[in-house]
Chains A and B, each alone.
Chain A
Amino acid sequence: MVSKALIAASTKPIILSILIRGENYGYQIIQRAKKISGGTLEWSDGMLYPVLHRLEKDGFIVSQWKKSEEGRYRKYYSLTDLGREELEAEKRQWLSVHSALAELWKPTAA
């Protein structure tokens, strides 16, 4: 399990990272995220959508309604250039945190 605060903080980079592999719609994004994390990331599904809207408002992603093969409408999101830059920035931040923790948790040869 991952704590609430950490989930809230990581939602943005996770969504951006999923979308960098191509446009996608909400349901799929959630499924991908759950699968990758092996179920440790637990979201209330509905709460993802306000986050997507926020990212769209900030200009990191754009959305488009599309009709699927079965005739269902889905809202697809795709990354903008600004979103790519944002993802790079997020990556740097997360990696620096990661390396710092990894360095600290290295078994010491005392």
Chain B
Amino acid sequence: MFDLEQDIKKWKKTLRKNEGLEDGYIAELESHLRDEIENQMKLGASEEEAFRMAVKSVGHPESIGEEFYKTHTRHLSGRPPWKPPRFMPELLWNYFKVALRKIRKHKGYSFINISGLAIGMACCFFVFLWVQDELSFDRFHSNAKEIYRVLLNPQDTDIYHPYGPGPLGPALAADYPEIIDFTRMFGEANGPLKYRNRVFSGKVRGVDNSFFEIFTFPFVKGDSKNCLSEPRSIVLTEKMAAKLFHEEDPLGKTLGFEWWGTWHDLKVTGVIEDAPSNTHLLFDYLLPFEFVTWSGMTIESWDIGAYKTYVLLPKNSNFKEVSEKIAGTIKKHFPESPNTLHLEPLTRIHLYNFTGGGAITYVYIFSIIGILILGIACINFMNLSTARSIERAREVGMRKVVGSTRAQLIRQFLGESVLLSLLSFILALILVQALLPSVNNIVGKPLTLLHSGSPLFIFLGIAILTGILSGSYPAVFLSSFRPVTVLKGLVKSSSQNIRLRKLLVIGQFVVSITLITGTIIIYQQLVYMRNMDMGINKSHVINMELRGGLRSNYSTIKSELLRNPDILAVSSTNGSFSKVFGTDKIGWEGKPEDERIFMSIHSVDFDYQKIFDIKMIQGRYFSRDYPTDISDGIIVNETAAKIMGMESPVGQRISCWIPYDPQRSGTIIGVAKDFHFRSLHEKINPLVLVIAPGWFTDAYIRIKPENVPETLVFLEKTIKESAPDFPLEYSFLDEDIDNLYKIEQRIGNLVRYGTFLAIFIACLGLFGLASFTAEKRTKEIGIRKVLGASISGIVLLLTKEFTKWVILANLIAWPIAYYVMSRWLQNFAYHVNIGIWTFLLSAALALVTSLITISFQAVKTAASNPVESLRYE
């Protein structure tokens, strides 16, 4: 039954709860309520209805109370004290102080926490810088999106290469209106420039004048228009100009350029800014495209593939359509050609192979690794923070008792973790700045942290986000404590929590063990390649390019050099090691029709065998005793003999194409045992050795292992006397061969550092977990000790469990590592086999590091006094 008086009493009671409403105000409001009830009842409502409507019309006691308070308070803000403040500077300062105290009190823990996060962040920043650089390749040209490179695809192959005939560019521009402009480019060669007595070598490119309209290379001096239209002109980069001219103004000056043994006088018509490093077009100076004809090469023939062609399309055009349209251009002009054409966007050249894959794969892989490492570091941060929650439980209880709301506590702990992450951020920046030079060395990039458009703000954002993410769980968890239980000293965490932690730690170890295995296998492969018997003697062999005087006075210099007893042999060849010319224009009796067989062809001399120690399995090597060897002698390797299907090759006749002697043919005088003349990525190719006088570009010199420095001094002095026109540049063959595996060494280094990081971070996670479980089992251990357990027994008890996890992680990691690494080894024609001991070694490594990590905590816990731990409550 509804009782009006009773309900009004109740209503007044609720009003009294409000601190802004005093008795007098409530009396006034009650009087209002009664008037309104009377009024409503007069209008025909029942007593109950009238009461409800009246209460509603009076409104919310909360806001009325607040208004009353505002009317009577003398406080400027007018904000009632029972409402939580929006901002309390005193508390903020207190939070800050407490956070700093905690950091100082637990130095070791804070150090691990902050440095772990800092390393994760630094890693992430490195990846970010690297990815940013990779993605920026060739994008600085204002026409970047409209520039395309023309690729040639020989029939029935999946080879796409950019080397096309000279008339291709002009024909494309003439035949198709879609092609606005084109530029051809020749040369990936090095050539020396000479001004007065200064000689410097640099990368030379021959380009059409339109080069500067298509690509964006700002001019410092001179004008982009017609700077290369004169045949004897040259455009230098700032760096090259500074080297040659120092303070002088290079514009209009004449300098010398050596090309195939002849010096040409060129006039400097322009200086351009040094190109940024993120481009696939690398050069030190540019010449008119026609310079290639100075060495006798033709640019008129459709039958030569030596020149790259870049074209400019209109904005927003569909390049695939254009690509299909132009596909048959070469065949149209030169029906014998097997090549079809394709367009490749400039911005994809660096990142994507035309047939799929490419550097973009590494971009993805490293991005994932970066995010993973940061994520793991975050999770560890969370784990460590929650594991230490008991420390903070009483603080939380106290704060709640004196009036902190949950929202305030969450803000406090979030703020604390953001503070920690900002500290880590500063540390990470210092790390990045300090390590950049060595990282640049490994990745071969000039990355910088502080440059215009630097992603510092993004990094700061990442840091704050990391702080919020990694602090969110501890904040929610800590702020949920009930003051009564917490102040009594009881804190429990759920078992679900610990299962998640276990999974995370196992996951971290899976990553670490995979990386360890990878590092070991990459290292094995590198050692294998370095020590593999390549069939040649590669130590103490010097390689140099023959240029200028060295080329024209070659035979004099050779006999001069051989006078020194420490110089064993001097030989000249066409092309250095691994850059052996190849052709399919080789004929022999019984060669199947229509079959295209590529063979490598190498022009050597009588002393070549002495340099490389090539073994013959049939016949003999070239000899001065047989004068016909020069014009008629041919040596093939085993593979070539096998391919040609000759049972007794010696005495057979074959024909082969040589640039200066297209109709060359000869008699096989010997079969050489197979030796590696390229990197071990490739199988040994069929090889034909001939003596073609005049067709040589490089010299090889074998010296005695003794007195190497003296021999080198003699070498330099002798060559300088006879060929003073340029600085001698030479290299050792074993170093050259090592350089063939630069990418593998780079990846090896990166993976190695990644492994250290992963192990470090995983150990951090393990440490957090170990301290967490130790803390949880304090009482159990106390009881065990009271009952007579020994310290070693308890350490064993604590480590046993973790060991189990690490072994489990091993079992998961092995198949992953095996799969990934055997795919990587597929890149090499000659590679190591993955042995079981590799896995055992990585397992042992992981186990040892993790045991060391755990034992810190385990020994500490086991050695603690049981009285302390049992008095815990």
Residues of A within 8 A of B (CB): 25-27, 30-31, 44-47, 49-51, 53-54, 57, 72-75
Contacts and interface: CB of A to CB of B under 8 A. Distances in A.
Please provide the 8 A-B residue pairs with the shortest distance between their CB atoms, ordered closest to farther.
A50-B67, A44-B59, A27-B35, A46-B59, A46-B58, A46-B64, A54-B71, A53-B71
Contacts of A31: 39
Given A44-B59, A45-B59, A46-B61, A27 B32 contact: yes
A9 to B, nearest CB: 16
Contacts of B35: 27
Contacts of B28: 26, 49, 75
Interface string B18-39: 0000000101110110111001
24 contacts: A25-B31, A26-B28, A26-B31, A27-B32, A31-B39, A44-B57, A44-B59, A44-B63, A45-B57, A45-B58, A46-B29, A46-B32, A46-B60, A47-B63, A49-B32, A49-B64, A50-B64, A50-B71, A51-B67, A53-B25, A53-B71, A54-B71, A73-B27, A75-B27
A49 B31 CA distance: 12
A54 B58 CA distance: 18
Contacts of A49: 25, 28-29, 32, 64, 68
A13 B503 CA distance: 71
A57 B71 contact: yes
Contacts of A47: 59, 63-64, 67
B66 to A, nearest CB: 9
B70 interface: yes
Nearest to B24: A75
A73 B30 CA distance: 10
A73 B31 contact: yes
Contacts of B71: 50-51, 53-54, 57
B823 interface: no
Contacts of A26: 28, 31-32
Contacts of B27: 73, 75
B72 interface: yes
B843 to A, nearest CB: 72
A84 to B, nearest CB: 22
A33 to B, nearest CB: 13
A44 B63 CA distance: 10
A11 to B, nearest CB: 12
A28 B39 CA distance: 11
B39 to A, nearest CB: 8
A25 B25 CA distance: 13
Contacts of A50: 64, 67-68, 70-71
A30 B61 CA distance: 18
A49 B60 CA distance: 13
Contacts of A44: 57-60, 63-64
B59 A72 contact: no
Interface string B754-798: 000000000000000000000000000000000000000000000
Contacts of B70: 50
A107 to B, nearest CB: 40
B31 A72 contact: yes
B67 to A, nearest CB: 4
Contacts of A74: 31
B72 A57 contact: yes
Interface in B28-79: 28-29, 31-32, 34-36, 39, 57-61, 63-64, 67-68, 70-72
Nearest to A65: B27
A53 B29 CA distance: 12
Given A26-B32, A53-B25, 10 more contacts: A26-B31, A30-B32, A44-B58, A45-B57, A47-B67, A49-B68, A53-B71, A53-B72, A72-B31, A75-B28
Nearest to B31: A74
A29 B28 CA distance: 13
Contacts of A51: 67, 71
Contacts of A30: 32
A102 B204 CA distance: 84
Nearest to B67: A50
A63 to B, nearest CB: 9
A27 B61 CA distance: 17
B174 to A, nearest CB: 69
Contacts of B64: 44, 46-47, 49-50
Contacts of A72: 31, 34
A14 B35 CA distance: 21
A50 B64 CA distance: 7
A54 B57 CA distance: 21
A86 B39 CA distance: 33
B31 A45 contact: no
Interface in B854-869: none
Contacts of A25: 31
Nearest to A57: B71
Contacts of B39: 31
B57 to A, nearest CB: 5
A45 B34 CA distance: 13
A50 B69 CA distance: 8
A57 B60 CA distance: 23
A46 B26 CA distance: 10
A69 to B, nearest CB: 13
A49 B29 CA distance: 8
A50 to B, nearest CB: 4
A49 B59 CA distance: 11
B36 A53 contact: no
A76 B729 CA distance: 109
A46 B63 CA distance: 9
Nearest to B20: A50
A74 B38 CA distance: 14
A68 to B, nearest CB: 9
Contacts of B59: 44-47
Most central of B36, B61, B64 by chain A CB within 10 Å: B64
A55 to B, nearest CB: 9
Nearest to A30: B32
Given A72-B31, A75-B28, A75-B31, A45 B68 contact: no
Nearest to A31: B39
Most central of A30, A53, A57 by chain B CB within 10 Å: A53
Contacts of B29: 46, 49
Contacts of A45: 32, 36, 57-59
A101 to B, nearest CB: 30
A70 to B, nearest CB: 9
Most central of B29, B60, B71 by chain A CB within 10 Å: B71
Contacts of B25: 49, 53
Contacts of B63: 44, 47
Interface in B716-768: none
A57 B31 CA distance: 21
A17 to B, nearest CB: 20
Most central of A25, A31, A44, A50 by chain B CB within 10 Å: A50
A44 to B, nearest CB: 4
A62 B521 CA distance: 95
